[in-house]
Amino acid sequence: MIRRLLLVSSLTLAGLNAGPPETVDLGDALQQGADWLKENLDDRVAAELPELDRPKLEQYLKQFQADMGGEYVIDLARAKTTAHAVLPLIEATPTLRPYSAWLKTRLDYFDVADELRLSAPAPQPSAPGRPPAPPVNPTPQAQRMAWTRQLKTRPAAPGTPAMAENLRPIFTAAHVPGELVWLAEVESSFNPQARSPAGAVGLYQLMPGTARSEGLQVAPKDERLDPAKNARAAATLLHSLHRQFPDWRLTLAAYNAGQGRVRELLGNDKSRGYDQIARHLPAETQLYVPKVEATVKGRTGMSLAELKTPP
């Protein structure tokens, strides 16, 4: 048990401190995780720290990162057990708690992916000598139904309705429906300190480049930690994206995956909507959009199609 716990801890700490995957030497990151454990664990427990099988662990981390940005939603289900197991370890480490807020908000991604996996049709057998057919993503409608079931009885966290009400005028001032203030529940559980491994920070999880483009400084003082400034930048961005994609599902997909990715999938066919491109978006985005939709509906009673843009 200790061996497994330490191994998971090493993986988690390495992955969270690594930064953007394209700039990280995973071998170095894994060693940093092991060093942290040796320095911070009780000596008797640290003595049981196993030697890390780096090739296998590097493969694991790369696969985890690829799954989040990959195309297949069901692939995320295999990370469910690890994600639930490592959260208490991150929460117990003060310097890592901002990452725990990010992970905790996304645990239900793994739960929904697992539900969709269990209800997915059996894959068709491949012909002899041919590679197996790639998995088929659940339909957007199936994902919307799964999120509705997942969030149907979930109450708002204490204090979040008051915070949402305080931030709502910032959204309406930016000509964005005030109901979308609840995007913060999906992004950070309304935790201003939330931080992602990729570097997004704050209530609405703004990346450094996005924050700077919206007039916020990220150093030496990170203004993304200010709830009002974070909300204002997010609302301004949503307004800009909605002018490009006058459909809230497409707007949210662009907020999560980037406007370039959405524009590329739409191509020259302006009649295509979210459901026509959803299966080709990153797995995280495919789950993100219906989660926002179900959250807004649950908290405000309004569907995305019913939202009115303030004048």
Question: Is residue 159 domain-shared with residue 302, that is, in the same domain?
Answer: yes
Distance of CA 293 to the CA centre of its chain: 15
Asked whether residue 93 is assigned to any structural domain, the reply reads: no
Higher pLDDT pick, 187 / 91: 187
Which residue type occupies 223?
A: E
Greatest extent of the chain over all pairs of C-alpha atoms, in Å = 65
Asked whether residue 214 is assigned to any structural domain, the reply reads: yes
Compute the average pLDDT of residues 200-215: 96
Question: Is residue 62 domain-shared with residue 194, that is, in the same domain?
Answer: no
Compute the average pLDDT of residues 241-255: 96
Band of the pLDDT at 105, cuts 50, 70, 90?
A: very high
Q: How many C-beta neighbours within 10 Å does residue 224 have? A: 27
Query: Where is the domain boundary, 69, 101, 122?
Result: 69
Band of the pLDDT at 103, cuts 50, 70, 90?
A: confident
Question: Is residue 167 domain-shared with residue 54, that is, in the same domain?
Answer: no
Give dist(CA 228, CA 224) in Å, integer. Answer: 9
Asked whether residue 43 is assigned to any structural domain, the reply reads: yes
Question: Is residue 157 domain-shared with residue 28, that is, in the same domain?
Answer: no
Compute the average pLDDT of residues 277-285: 94
Question: Is residue 294 domain-shared with residue 150, that is, in the same domain?
Answer: yes
pLDDT at 6 over 90: no
Asked whether residue 248 is assigned to any structural domain, the reply reads: yes
Q: Identify the pLDDT of residue 59.
A: 52
Asked whether residue 126 is assigned to any structural domain, the reply reads: no
Alpha helices in the chain, H assignment, sequence order:
2-18, 26-40, 43-46, 54-69, 80-91, 97-119, 140-151, 160-173, 183-188, 208-213, 227-244, 248-257, 259-266, 274-277, 283-300
pLDDT at 173 over 80: yes
Query: Where is the domain boundary, 51, 69, 87?
Result: 69
Question: Is residue 157 domain-shared with residue 286, that is, in the same domain?
Answer: yes
Q: For the chain, how many residues are written?
A: 311
Query: Where is the domain boundary, 27, 51, 69?
Result: 69
Most confident segment among 70-79, 241-250, 263-272 = 241-250
Paired tokens of 237: 């961005």
Higher pLDDT pick, 244 / 196: 244
For 201, phi then psi, to 5°, come to -140, 145
The answer to whether 35 and 251 are in contact (CB under 8 A) is no
Containing structural domain, residue 65:
1-69
Q: Look at the chain and report how many structural domains it folds into.
A: 2
pLDDT at 180 over 90: yes
Give dist(CA 212, CA 218) in Å, integer. Answer: 7
pLDDT at 280 over 70: yes
Question: Is residue 183 domain-shared with residue 65, that is, in the same domain?
Answer: no
Asked whether residue 61 is assigned to any structural domain, the reply reads: yes
Which residue, chain included where needed, has tokens 């480049």? 209
C-alpha distances out from residue 267 to 229, 235, 264, 285, Å: 34, 26, 5, 18
Distance of CA 215 to the CA centre of its chain: 24
Asked whether residue 263 is assigned to any structural domain, the reply reads: yes
How much of the chain exceeds pLDDT 90, in percent?
Answer: 56
Residue 198: give its domain's CATH number.
1.10.530.10
Asked whether residue 75 is assigned to any structural domain, the reply reads: no
Question: Is residue 249 domain-shared with residue 144, that is, in the same domain?
Answer: yes
